[in-house]
Amino acid sequence: MIRLVGILVGLGFTFVVLLAFAFGFANWASDDTPPTAESVFHLAPKHVEFEHDGLFPSWDLAQLQRGYQVYKEVCSACHSLNQIAFRNLSELGYNEDEVKAEAANWVVPGVDPNTGEASTRPGTPTDNFPRPYANDVAARAANNNAIPPDLSLMTKARHHGPAYVYSLLTGYQEPSAELLASYPEAAPATGLHHNPYFANLNLAMAPPLTADGQVTYADGTEASIDQMAQDVAAFLTWTAEPSLVERKRAGWPVLGFLLFATILAWLAKKQVWANAKPKRKED
What would the pLDDT profile of 86-100 be if each residue is shown by its tens digit? 999 999 999 999 999
Give the homologous superfamily in CATH for domain 37-84+145-245: Cytochrome c-like domain (1.10.760.10)
- Over residues 206-223, the mean pLDDT reads 95
52 is in an annotated binding site: no
Q: Where are the domains of the chain?
A: 37-84+145-245
1 is in an annotated binding site: no
Q: Report DSSP state, residue 85.
A: B
User: In the predicted model, what is the mean pLDDT of the chain?
Assistant: 89
User: Given pLDDT bands bounded at 50, 70 and 90, which one contains residue 118?
Assistant: confident
Residue 207 burial class via C-beta count within 10 angstroms: exposed 0-12, middle 13-18, buried 19 and up: middle
- Amino acid at residue number 249: R
The neighbour count for residue 8, using CB atoms within 10 Å, is: 10
CA distance linking residue 9 with residue 6, whole number of Å: 5
Q: Is the pLDDT reported for residue 150 higher than 80?
A: yes
CB under 8 Å to 144, separation ≥6 — which residues?
191, 192, 204
User: Which residue from 145, 150, 161 is spatially nearest to 80, judged by alpha carbons?
Assistant: 150
194 is in an annotated binding site: no
Q: Report DSSP state, residue 224.
A: -
Q: For residue 244, give the 3-state DSSP assignment.
A: helix
- Over residues 160-182, the mean pLDDT reads 95
Alpha helices in the chain (DSSP H): 2-29, 37-41, 61-73, 96-104, 136-142, 154-157, 161-170, 177-182, 225-240, 244-272
Angle at 155 between CA 133 and CA 230, to 5 degrees: 95
Q: Is the pLDDT reported for residue 218 higher than 60?
A: yes
pTM (2 d.p.): 0.82
194 φ, ψ (degrees, to nearest 5): -80, 135
Q: For residue 82, give the 3-state DSSP assignment.
A: coil
User: Which residue from 171, 170, 168 is spatially nearest to 225, judged by alpha carbons?
Assistant: 170
CA distance linking residue 29 with residue 31, whole number of Å: 6
Half-sphere exposure of 247 (CA within 13 A, CB side): 7
79 is in an annotated binding site: yes
What would the pLDDT profile of 196-209 be if each residue is shown by its tens digit? 999 999 999 999 99
Q: Is the pLDDT reported for residue 235 higher than 80?
A: yes
DSSP letters, 24-58, are HHHHHHT--PPPPHHHHH--PPPP---TTSSSS--
